[in-house]
Amino acid sequence: MTTTGTPTLAVDSRTRYTSDETCFAGTSTGQTPGSGKETMRILIAEDSAPSRLALERVLVKWGYEVVPCRDGSAAWEQLQLPDAPRLAILDWMMPGYSGPEICRMLRAKGGEPYTYLLLLTSKTLKEDLIAGMEAGADDYVTKPFDLHELNVRLRAGMRILDLQAELLEAREKLREQATKDSLTGLWNRRSIMEILEREQARSQREGAPIGVLMIDLDHFKQVNDCFGHLAGDEVLREAGRRLLASVRPYDGVGRYGGEEFLVVLPGCDEAGLRARAESMRAAIAAPPLEKVSQGLTVSASFGATVFMPQSAVSVSDLIRIADEALYEAKHTGRNRVVLRSPLIGTLR
């Protein structure tokens, strides 16, 4: 085949393709797409082996990592994987599933991150192309296609994927700001209360108890007065770290306000709750607080209660009972755990 003007990768009767190496080199930028970022993986779905190999060779030369598929069924399987390529070039007509069918199924599935889909087709009728786009394709290239055009369209797809990644990152940051305490990184008050409400509903469905701890750092005002507010902030952060290190992955730890913390322990009865609370109390009191000067040590008082699934105690009642137990711990010497049952009074 003779190339004139802009190089093309021609496909005729699904077997002819160019083997002119100067054609590939002429379209190469000499740089990996998205320089400085992870190499973009592209899925190719094309049942003509010569055409697939030729396209793969071009994409590899441009710096992409290629996942080749010989038909629509193989492409669909690859696109279901957790680490599926985020950009796919799909031939329109293939055994198994056609390109538009894959587009339609993938869009119906939804989910994130987004997959950019480019149809490769010999169809040129406006109605066909519109049908492909309506099926969920983001763009298309007609055969025989221009390599410069393909390069530009792929880079446009990459820009869209980069923008989506930035939006997801921004959304995650907003979610963090809305649900996490900015100082300690723990759940904020609203979020930990929502966790307690969800666990209470789960407890009533599944019949398992919930342990609730209200924790207050002892003499915290003196820390701020003697060492300054920056030291006080570090005390709060370190106390949060120690609490997190003392709980299970599915327990909830939140900053309730000021120097108070709320801990939700699903499946924890009174004996288990007392043992866990004592472990947390010892962890907070263990010297020293590494990042605070003068080897400062602090302690904390714990108010504990257990929600039993057969009881009619509300979330606000649980907080009140745990707070009453905390108040008692404060007034009986601090650095201790007081467990109060909503059903049978106070346990010492």
Query: CA nearest 84: which of 53, 45, 34, 120?
Result: 45
Determine the straight-line distance between the first and last CA of the chain, rounded to whole angstroms. Answer: 91
Query: CA nearest 140: which of 78, 88, 67, 70?
Result: 88
Structure tokens that stand for 269 in this block: 């009865």
**Sheet bearing 252-257, strands edge to edge:** 252-257, 260-266, 210-217, 300-307, 337-341, 345-347
Question: What is the rounded distance in angstroms from the CA atom of residue 47 to the CA atom of residue 91?
Answer: 8
Query: CA nearest 120: which of 264, 236, 2, 17?
Result: 17
Quickly count: other Cβ atoms within 10 Å of residue 337's Cβ. Answer: 23
DSSP labels, 184-198? T-SB-HHHHHHHHHH
Query: 312-318 long-range CB contacts below 8 Å, 24 or more apart?
Result: 313/342, 315/193, 315/196, 315/197, 315/200, 317/342, 318/196, 318/200, 318/212, 318/342
Cross-strand pairs, 253: 263
> What's the farthest any 2 CA atoms get from each other in the chain?
94
Whether residue 259 lies in the annotated active site? yes
- From the list 46, 199, 238, 259, the catalytic residue is 259
Question: What is the rounded distance in angstroms from the CA atom of residue 306 to the CA atom of residue 315?
Answer: 11
Quickly count: other Cβ atoms within 10 Å of residue 53's Cβ. Answer: 14
Structure tokens that stand for 97 in this block: 């599933």
Angstrom CA distances, 102 to 4, 38, 114, 127, 337, stand at 35, 26, 14, 19, 60
Contact in structure between 8 and 146 (CB atoms under 8 Å): yes
- Residues known to be catalytic: 259
